[in-house]
Amino acid sequence: MSEDERKTILAIDDDPIILNQIMSILKDGYTIRPFTSGEAALKFLEAHPVDLILLDCNMPGGMSGFEVLAKLHDTADYKSIPVIFLTGSVDGDDEVNALANGAMDYLLKPIKDRSLAKRVSLQIELQDYRNELTQLVAARTEELRLANTKLLEREKITLDLLARAGDLRDHDTGEHINRTTNYVRIVAEDLVQNPKAGYELTVLRAQDIVEAAKLHDIGKVAMPDGVLLKPGKLTPEEFDIIKTHPIHGAQLLDDAVDKLGDDDLLREARNIAYAHHEKWNGSGYPRKLVGEDIPLSARITAIADVFDALTSERPYKNAFSNEDAFRILYEDAGSHFDPYLIEVVKRHEKDFENIRAGIGRE
Ligand code: C2E
Ligand code: SIN
Ligand code: FE
C-alpha cells in the first residue's frame, strides 16, 4: 500500500507506553498520530482528517474519553469517524456507556496485539463500505433529480404548447396566457401566504393551479372561426355556441384524466376549464354554479381572465385602462366574482399593473 492510500489513525491515551504499543502493532498498515491528551488530539483534528480514532477512557488530569467522545459526536465533521474505545475496567459500565455514546467498538486493556489489529481493520472496512454507499446514494439521488427536473420541464413546455395551440386563433402571441397565468399566480400566492378559512392553498396546490390555468380556454379549439373571430357583437345563437367552450375543455381534460388516473394538476385544469365562466351569483355558464360550489381555482382564473380581456383589445371591443378594468372588477364583486378574492386583488393592484405592462414576472 502506498503512503497516500494509507489510512490515518488518531490514537489518544495519556499513557505513552500504550501509545507505543499501538504504534508497533499498527505502524505497518496505517499512519498513526499519537496524542497523550484529548485536547491536543481535538486540536489536531481541526486541520487533519483521520479515518479512525482509538480513544482511552480514563485520562486523569485532562478531558476524559467520554468528554472527547461527546465532543466528537456533537461535531458534524467528526460524527462519522469510527471510534474504538480503550478501557481498563472489566466490571464497570464503560463499554456499555461508550457504545451508547457513539463508539463503534471497545477493547479491554491490556491490549492484545491481534485483537487490536483485527478490530481496527474491521472498522476501517466498515467505514469504507459506508462511505461507498453514501457516495452511491448521493450519485443516484442526483441522477434522479436531473431526470425528474427534465420531466417537469418537459411537462411545463408541453402544457405551454397545448395552451398556445388552443389560443392561437384569437390571440396569436401567447401573451394572453402568460399574463392570465401570472395574475392567477399573484392571487394564489397571496392565499398561500395569508391562510383564510375556505381559501387555504398549499404551495404545491398553488403551483398546480398556476400551471393548470394556462389551459382554461383549451375548449375554444372547438369554436368555429366565424364565431370566435367575428369582428363585432355576437348574436344570441353565436354566444350559445361560445358557451359550450368550457364543456369542450372539460371533455378534453376528462379524457386525459381517464388515461392518467387521478392527477392534481389535470383535475385543477379540468375544474378551471369547466368553471371559469361561472359567476358567484349563479348567473354564469355552463352549469350556473353558485358561490363556493365553483372550484376555488376557477374563481381565481375568472378574475384573471376577465382582467386580461378587459385590458386587451378584442375583435369586438377596445382595451380598457387598468383603472377602468379594476373598477369593473370591483363593481362585480359578489355578483360575477368571489368578493374575498376581489379583496385580494385590491392588495395587489401594483403587481397586476406590472404584469399588464410586461414588467417583472416571467
Ligand atoms: P374573452 O374575449 O377572452 O373574454 C373573457 C371574458 O372577459 C368574457 O367572458 C367577459 O366575462 C369578460 N369581458 C370581455 N370583454 C368585456 C367587456 O367589454 N366588458 C365586461 N364587463 N366584461 C368583458 P364572456 O362574455 O363569457 O365571453 C367569452 C368569450 O366569448 C370571450 O373571451 C370572446 O372570445 C367571446 N365573446 C364574447 N362576447 C363577444 C362579442 O361580442 N364578439 C365576439 N366576437 N366575441 C365575443
Ligand atoms: C489508562 O489507560 O489511562 C487507564 C485505564 C483505563 O482506560 O481505564
Ligand atoms: Fe373562456
Does ligand 1 have an atom closer than 6 angstroms to the CB of 315?
yes
pTM above 0.75, yes or no: no
Does ligand 1 have an atom closer than 6 angstroms to the CB of 259?
no
Is the Cα dihedral 233, 236, 241, 245 positive or negative? positive
Which homologous superfamily is 3-139 in?
Response regulator (3.40.50.2300)
pLDDT higher than threshold 50 for residue 362 = no
Q: What residue ranges do the domains of the chain occupy?
A: 3-139, 169-356
Cα separation, 251 vs 56, in Å, equals: 74
Give the bridge partners for 9, in sequence order: 32, 52
Burial label, 268 (beta-carbon count in 10 A; 0-12, 13-18, 19+) = buried
Does ligand 1 have an atom closer than 6 angstroms to the CB of 243?
no
Alpha carbons within 13 angstroms on the beta-carbon side of residue 6 total 15
Q: Matching CATH topology for 3-139 and 169-356?
A: no
pLDDT tens-digit series, residues 146-191:
999 999 889 889 888 989 888 888 876 678 999 999 999 999 999 9
Q: How far is the CA of 230 from the centre of ligand 1 (A)?
A: 12
What is the four-CA torsion angle of 212, 216, 218, 223, rounded to 10 degrees?
Answer: 170
- What is the number of the ligand 1 atom nearest to the C-alpha of 315? 44
Cα separation, 190 vs 348, in Å, equals: 9
Helices (H), 276-313: 296-310
Does ligand 1 have an atom closer than 6 angstroms to the CB of 317?
yes
Average pLDDT, the chain: 93
Q: How far is the CA of 244 from the centre of ligand 1 (A)?
A: 14
Cα separation, 52 vs 121, in Å, equals: 10
Which homologous superfamily is 169-356 in?
Hypothetical protein af1432 (1.10.3210.10)
Specify the higher pLDDT residue, 103 or 258.
103
